[in-house]
Structure 1
Amino acid sequence: MKTATLSTRQVVRVLGKGIRLNGHANDPVQGITYDPGAVLPGSIYVALSRPEGDGHDHVAEAVARGAQVVVTERMGWLPRRAVAVRVTDSRRALARIAARYYGEPARRLQIVGVTGPGSAEVAFYLRQLWAAAGRPVGLIGALGHELGDRLLPGRDGAEEPSDVQHMLACLVEQGIGRCVLELGSAALERSITEEVPLATLIRLGGETPPGVTAGELISISWERGLAPGIRLVSGRWQGAPLWQVELARASRDGWTLRLQTGRGPMDCTLAVCGQQNMRAALQAGMAARALGVPAGAVRDGWSRLVSAPGRCEPIRRGQPFGVWVDGADSPAALQEVLADARRTAARRLLVLVGGSAWQAADELTGLGAAAGRLAEVVMVTSNNPMEQPPEALIRPVSRAARKAGARRVEEEPDRDRAIRRLLGQAEAGDLVLLTGKGRRTTMELAYVRVPFDDRRRAWVALGELGWTAGDSRS
């Protein structure tokens, strides 16, 4: 990737807070990072306080690895071979340096920010619907990053400003001119909008976050009630400020809806499962219309949506029963997704449920009670047992499920075997719901974290049962 040539002196000038300069003042910098383990000779190291640890404690390590410039909020001793720059806010400094280093890519893109409840799913679906108009669109969000020919996993908002600038530069390099940027609470705490001018901010209820500005504000609210709908509160597209859901039918493969749009009814199919995904897809559709996407393109895009990972995500291999993977791991979340599954009019509901070592006893019994009330078959396993014997997590869930009235409750400590056993019991018209992990891809055992992906395990198990339609998954 082409980057700007910056000297140490220019970096200090960008920040305007130089503490001292030495013989490296005119040497070009070779990179920028906040990870002390990723420092290369001649690079800039920016010390950040992060959940993983305080970068200020690793300044000496960064210099030993060859850091040419150290940006820090706390000045301490440094070898004279490094240039020290003290700032009041390291993240803002990181954003300014990274923007300059990567050639200020945000100024060459039309960036639409999405903030508010459900922003991760709405951003994920908006990228698909905006692209339905015929031009490529990038995505930077908690559920993943889509950068043209590069797909990267999301880190739940743990990206820093330099990560965002690097991804924006990737889009510019590939000739992609539009990007959806999800602004969840974790991302906003990391000042990722610093040096990222937003053309449009889509606000899903609530107030505009402090410090976030945009050329245009589009405010969308979800209205509950007997006739739920979404309302465009403000925005340049005022042709149909309210869409009301007049009719909604859920199936194991998605939703069939009739919307009253103010310009007559619109029948549509949403290729996503669960109410949360349905709401997000509708909000993304209204946002896409406000951005100028034709109604026909939005309707066609809805029918081809790729589901948000780990949120009632369907696994399809041609089997005559449904399989959903969802990350619900609390009693309330499990209750909601089970109610969604019940709306599909499935012949039977089979659910995999399991607890984690950090969950209290009332949470474990709550999981079992929710599963027992709404599912015919409950397979109880473990989620993240850590140092605890899996059986200690299984027993309270099983007891609560039986007490709540489940017709069949089975126990299987091995999660992979539990998935295989449950799928092996499914018949035509059933719906199998695998809960607890969703898009998470690890399991925490005693002092070790091992790879484990419910989606991958279900895909393989279905193949072993003879259902082999579709491409293989990695």
Structure 2
Amino acid sequence: MALVTNNDLQTPAMNPRVSQLLTGMETIRQKIREDSPVACLITDSRRVVPGALFFAIGGLRTDGNLYVEEAVDRGAVAIITEENLGQHFPIDYIQVSDVRKTLALVSRQFYDAPDAKLGVTGITGTNGKTTVSMLTQHLIGGQDQVGLLGTIRYDLGKRTLPSFRTTPESVDVYALLSQMVDHGCSEAVMEVSSHGIDQKRTYGVDVEVAVFLNLTQDHIDYHKSMEGYYKVKKRLFTGETGRRPRAAVINVDCAYGRRLLSELPDGVGAISFGIEADSAIIRADDVALFADRTEFRLTWPEGQIQVCAPLLGRYNVSNLLAALAIARAKGHEIEPILQRVMTFPGVPGRMERMDEGQPFNVLVDYAHTDDALIHACSMLREITAGRLIVVFGCGGDRDRSKRAPMLRAALAGSDEVFVTSDNPRTESIDQIFSDMREATDSERAHYVSDRKHAISLALDCAQAGDCVLIAGKGHEAFQEFDGTVIPFDDRQVARELIRLKEGAF
């Protein structure tokens, strides 16, 4: 049977007809004569096969309506579009006002509403989505019972796929949720990006628990302002994504979280969390940070307990509080859940230690915003006896306004900074460096265009008791240069360099 947009995704055994998939949906114009069975839902004309229902989606770089004829030639049974294709169009077509919304609703129908058979948790926020989603999965049941859609991977119960997007297109979301149901999952945890919300990739998903972690500057090139960014995130909690969550988990340490809490619609139960926040339902006090663990006193309405967790840093205390709040929202008791914390294996590329016997600490982290760098540096300062050395870069073809603040954050939080490449894409590294230099001309900022060389220099600079933070890419195993993707894994590169330099330490 034909595939959706990823060769690992399956389609249902029964092929509904076009009219069945559109039952109850608003349309502007329909020309349905053949009303053929639909084998698959396709958004890329190059993947159209006989029996496909093709959705002509307009995008930032291209417009699916330009490829309608190709879809017809390849055997599409019907086209769904926002354009009027005319009565003489050779195959069935349906004109709608919002093709992305229609894609989501049709996908849900096509896959027999798999979200309704799962307890879905949707997690949004600028930082921490991956850690909280994977921690929640671990705490409330593990991979066999709890499916996961996120930045690093898609866990589908009995199989795992590499992630191809933090929040996939809606047709893929429903296809993946369907596989979770087929493989025996009872729960699903999803990272929900702001792009995913705005582009209706999660439209119609029956989210049981919606989670807000934080909001700091990111994606302003897309959302235009922090207010616009916030309002998109807010949709997950208000029902503007098609369905209203039954519960909201909200970080009240964040000003935007406190605002969201005050703006929740009636009927959405709220569980707040925070560090030393008296108003929080789940709270951490007396936080003590160590090089290999974190300790704090956990307080919730029914009790209080001292916690020792293998996660490093104050912001990981916040991430753990979020996961515990999610578990509570789903009816779990806190103390039994806490027993699973010590067995959490960690998250690839999130404060991941590279230990090859060197006399200083080396960590790889995904921090790629100024706020994330501030928190990462602050945390490492508290557990580092010597100097803190940071390697980081800014991505090309992305928000230029975040570059200078990122350099300021790195310089403010560390002793030495090696500025380097981080997915330059089609943009000149010199232009990226120029934008960053607007922050300062500090002699502590060293500009090295080759990322491997920058990491090597940072390691050469480190002495016993120091810490090297390699930030920005985390788990990613590639770099993007002018349309070309090349293998590059900060973790692998760091380990290899440390071993090569072993005699010098």
TM category (shorter chain) comes to 0.7 to 0.9
Tell me whether 1:153 sits opposite 2:163 in the alignment. yes
Cα drift, residue 167 of structure 1: 0.6
Q: How does 1:279-318 map to 2 (within 5 A)?
A: 279-316=318-355
Give 3-state SS (helix, strand or coil) of 1:179's partner: strand
- Would you say 1:73 and 2:82 are equivalent positions? yes
Amino acid of the structure 1 residue aligned with 2:433: L
Quick check: 2:21–2:110 contact (8 Å CA) kept in 1? no
2:250 corresponds to 1:220? yes
* Within-5 A mapping of 1:459-470: 459-464=495-500
Question: Given the superposition, is the C-alpha separation of residues 170 and 381 from structure 1 closer, same or farther in structure 2, using an over 3 Å criterion?
Answer: same
With normalisation by structure 2, the TM-score equals 0.75
Structure 2 residue aligned with 1:209: 238
Out of 133, 140, 143, which is 1:123 matched to?
A: 133
Question: Which is worse superposed, 102-111 or 393-402?
Answer: 393-402
Aligned-partner Cα distance in 1 for 2:438–2:466: 22
Question: CA 1:255/1:31 → structure 2, altered by over 3 Å: closer, same or farther?
Answer: same
Counterparts in 2 of 1:182 and 1:327: CA distance versus 1, 3 Å: closer
Using the size of structure 1 for normalisation, the TM-score is: 0.80
Query: 1:162 corresponds to which residue?
Result: 171
Aligned-CA RMSD value: 4.0
Residue equivalent to 2:258: none
- The amino acid that maps onto 2:85 is G
Corresponding residue of 2:16:
6
Q: How does 1:55-454 map to 2 (within 5 A)?
A: 55-76=64-85, 81-115=90-124, 118=127, 120-121=129-130, 122-131=132-141, 136-142=145-151, 144-148=153-157, 149-153=159-163, 155-157=165-167, 159-202=168-211, 208-212=237-241, 213-214=243-244, 216-223=246-253, 234=269, 242-261=281-300, 265-316=304-355, 319-329=358-368, 331=370, 333-355=372-394, 370-384=409-423, 388=428, 393=433, 400=440, 402-403=442-443, 406=444, 412-446=448-482, 448-454=484-490
Q: Once the 2 structures are TM-superposed, how far is the Cα of residue 135 of structure 1 from its aligned partner?
A: 6.2
Q: In the alignment, is the contact (CA less than 8 A) between 1:381 and 1:390 conserved in 2? A: no
Mind listing any 5+ residue stretches in structure 2 that lack a counterpart?
1-9, 215-229, 256-260, 262-267, 274-278
Percent identity between the two aligned chains: 26
Residue 296 (structure 1) shift: 3.4
Tell me the CA shift for residue 303 of structure 1: 2.5
Distance 1:164 1:358 in 2: 27
Contact 2:238–2:244 (CA under 8 A) maintained in structure 1: no
1:32 aligned residue (41, 47, 51): 41
Q: Deviations over 1:127-170 (max 9, x none)?
A: 222126x962012235543222213325243x222111101111
CA distance in 1: counterparts of 2:411 and 2:345, whole angstroms: 31
Q: Deviations over 1:338-385 (max 9, x none)?
A: 222212134232221345566999976665554445434433433345
Unaligned ranges ≥5, structure 1: 226-230, 468-474
Q: 1:39 to 1:315 in 2, by over 3 A?
A: farther
Name the amino acid aligned to 1:216: R
CA contact (8 A) 1:3 1:102 kept: no
SS in 2 for 1:53: coil
CA deviation string 1:176-225 (max 9, x = no partner): 12112333422222334444323344455896234353462244333479
Answer yes or no: is the 8 Å Cα contact 1:12–1:85 preserved in 2: no
Q: Which amino acid aligns with 2:328?
A: R
Instruction: Confirm or deny: 8 A CA contact 1:161 1:190 kept in the other structure.
Output: no
Does the 8 Å CA contact 1:87/1:93 hold for their aligned counterparts?
yes
8 Å contact kept, 1:119–1:183: no
Contact 2:249–2:322 (Cα < 8 Å) also in 1: no
Structure 1 partner of 2:218? none
